[in-house]
């Protein structure tokens, strides 16, 4: 079955008739520089803790996250990936008459909202085709475009910043008025850490002012640990106490907790990632443009690219070059006219550009 998330190498390997290990995976937006040594060391030195239950209060982990964000530990709830905390966010959103979200949207939002019977209202992000934007301005339009949600909308809001899959970054100034408009605002900042601190548009600093604000963060993408599962929510302590009562008491395993206690202090890895991303993303962006494709200017570690017949392109890249890109069929608004790729190391990005060039020039 065609995957609805990136990173499904078993499916790709079957199509490419090769072992999964030889496929170069651009479909999951994971930092290629990781996992950092600090994370692997923490895992190795905590293996003996496997015979104990985790601390159900996650005191050390919460202290470490709190220190990183300069907030009180009571405002933090670690989870089994941002995906778990999305579930509890959606349980709360489902109590409101409507939840508004932007589409295309990360596929798991549908899973979590549907699980609690939330009434969802979708607001399309205007893509280029719908905007009649002149060719020369096309690349500039996704940055700081207005959030396409009417001022009359009420209830809950589920927002993703930077937005997956377009890569668009909304500013704090754009989001602030929505906090007065909606009863509950959940902001999924799973990719925010890919921006250097001075460029981030996080609402974490404003959480104490808005009891109706929930921020979700993931540690699986930036630190390249999707198999470990670790994320956290930042929100009013009363809300987080409620979530803790709803869920399994040990949602985060001991190894993930040990990693979370150290990686946020790994300044060297963070700086290395920001340095790499700036150059590697523009390399990929320019490469796509030179091939006549239309990449969206993304703020995170992935790029959405407009092209013809992306599913056929995906098949050719897989079968001829053993490269996997993310098709956009699971995003109803995008379909076969777009693909999404993670930014990888510069030699790997070059392999993708060369593979695409070969397909465009010689049909393979």
Ligand X SMILES: Cc1ncc(COP(=O)(O)O)c(C=O)c1O
Which residues lie near ligand X (CB under 6 A)? 81-83, 106, 160, 164, 188, 190, 218, 220, 226, 231
122 forms beta bridges with 101
Which C-beta is closer to ligand X: that of 3 or that of 231? Answer: 231
Q: Rounded to the nearest whole angstrom, what is the least distance from the CB of residue 27 to ligand X in the complex?
A: 11
Q: Rounded to the nearest whole angstrom, what is the least distance from the CB of residue 335 to ligand X in the complex?
A: 19
Which C-beta is closer to ligand X: that of 202 or that of 316? Answer: 202
Cβ contacts of 331 within 8 Å, gap of 6 or more: 103, 104, 105, 107, 165, 338
Which C-beta is closer to ligand X: that of 155 or that of 260? Answer: 260
Q: Which residue has the tokens 């930092």?
A: 31
Q: Rounded to the nearest whole angstrom, what is the least distance from the CB of residue 187 to ligand X in the complex?
A: 11
Q: Are 133 and 297 in contact (CB under 8 A)?
A: no
Residue closest to ligand X when measured from CB atoms = 81
Answer positive or negative: Cα dihedral of 50, 53, 57, 60.
negative
Please give the Cα distance from 86 to 229 (Å, whole number).
13
Q: Are 349 and 280 in contact (CB under 8 A)?
A: yes
Q: Rounded to the nearest whole angstrom, what is the least distance from the CB of residue 135 to ligand X in the complex?
A: 30
Which C-beta is closer to ligand X: that of 156 or that of 226? Answer: 226
Q: Rounded to the nearest whole angstrom, what is the least distance from the CB of residue 7 to ligand X in the complex?
A: 8
**DSSP labels for 82-149?**
HHHHHHHHHHHHTTSS-EEEEES--THHHHHHHHTT--EEEEEPPPHHHHT--GGGGGGTTTTPPP--
Which C-beta is closer to ligand X: that of 221 or that of 321? Answer: 221
3-state secondary structure of 72: coil
CA angle at 279 for the pair 146 and 20, rounded to the nearest 5°: 95
Which C-beta is closer to ligand X: that of 36 or that of 81? Answer: 81
Q: Rounded to the nearest whole angstrom, what is the least distance from the CB of residue 82 to ligand X in the complex?
A: 4
Which C-beta is closer to ligand X: that of 75 or that of 194? Answer: 194
Please give the Cα distance from 161 to 170 (Å, whole number).
6
Please give the Cα distance from 214 to 112 (Å, whole number).
15
The pair of three-digit structure tokens given for residue 338, joined into one six-digit string = 């777009």
Q: Rounded to the nearest whole angstrom, what is the least distance from the CB of residue 106 to ligand X in the complex?
A: 4
Q: Rounded to the nearest whole angstrom, what is the least distance from the CB of residue 43 to ligand X in the complex?
A: 17
Which C-beta is closer to ligand X: that of 321 or that of 340? Answer: 340
Cβ contacts of 280 within 8 Å, gap of 6 or more: 343, 344, 345, 346, 349
Radius of gyration of the chain (CA): 20
Most distant CA pair in the chain: distance in Å?
62
Which C-beta is closer to ligand X: that of 68 or that of 360? Answer: 68
Q: Rounded to the nearest whole angstrom, what is the least distance from the CB of residue 17 to ligand X in the complex?
A: 27
């Amino acid at each position: 079955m065609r995957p609805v998330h990136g990173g499904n190498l078993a499916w790709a390997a079957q199509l490419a008739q090769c072992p999964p290990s030889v496929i170069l995976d651009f479909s999951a937006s994971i930092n290629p520089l990781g996992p950092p040594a600090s994370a692997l060391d923490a895992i190795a030195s905590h293996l003996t803790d496997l015979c104990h239950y985790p601390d159900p209060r996650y005191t050390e982990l919460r202290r470490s996250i709190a220190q990183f964000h300069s907030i009180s530990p009571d405002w933090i709830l670690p989870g089994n990936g941002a995906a778990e905390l999305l579930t509890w966010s959606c349980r709360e959103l489902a109590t409101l008459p409507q939840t508004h979200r932007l589409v295309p949207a990360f596929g798991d939002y549908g899973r979590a909202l549907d699980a609690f019977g939330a009434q969802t209202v979708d607001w399309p992000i205007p893509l280029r085709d719908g905007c009649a934007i002149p060719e020369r301005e096309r690349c500039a339009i996704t940055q700081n475009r207005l959030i396409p949600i009417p001022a009359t909308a009420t209830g809950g809001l589920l927002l993703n910043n930077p937005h997956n899959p377009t890569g668009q970054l909304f500013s704090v100034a754009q989001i602030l008025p929505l906090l007065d408009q909606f009863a509950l605002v959940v902001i999924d900042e799973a990719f925010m850490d890919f921006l250097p601190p001075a460029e981030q548009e996080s609402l974490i600093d404003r959480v104490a002012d808005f009891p109706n604000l929930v921020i979700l963060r993931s540690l699986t993408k930036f630190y390249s640990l999707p198999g470990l599962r670790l994320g956290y929510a930042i929100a009013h302590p009363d809300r987080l106490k409620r979530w803790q009562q709803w869920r399994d008491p040990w949602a985060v395993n001991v190894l993930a907790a040990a990693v979370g206690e150290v990686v946020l202090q790994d300044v060297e890895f963070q700086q290395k990632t920001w340095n790499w991303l700036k150059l590697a993303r523009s390399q990929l962006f320019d490469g796509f443009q030179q091939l006549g494709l239309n990449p969206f200017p993304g703020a995170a570690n992935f790029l959405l690219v407009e092209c013809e017949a992306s599913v056929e392109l995906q098949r050719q890249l897989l079968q001829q070059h053993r490269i996997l890109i993310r098709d956009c069929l699971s995003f109803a608004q995008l379909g076969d006219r777009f693909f999404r790729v993670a930014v990888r190391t510069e030699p790997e990005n070059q392999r993708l550009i060369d593979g695409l060039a070969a397909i465009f020039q010689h049909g393979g």
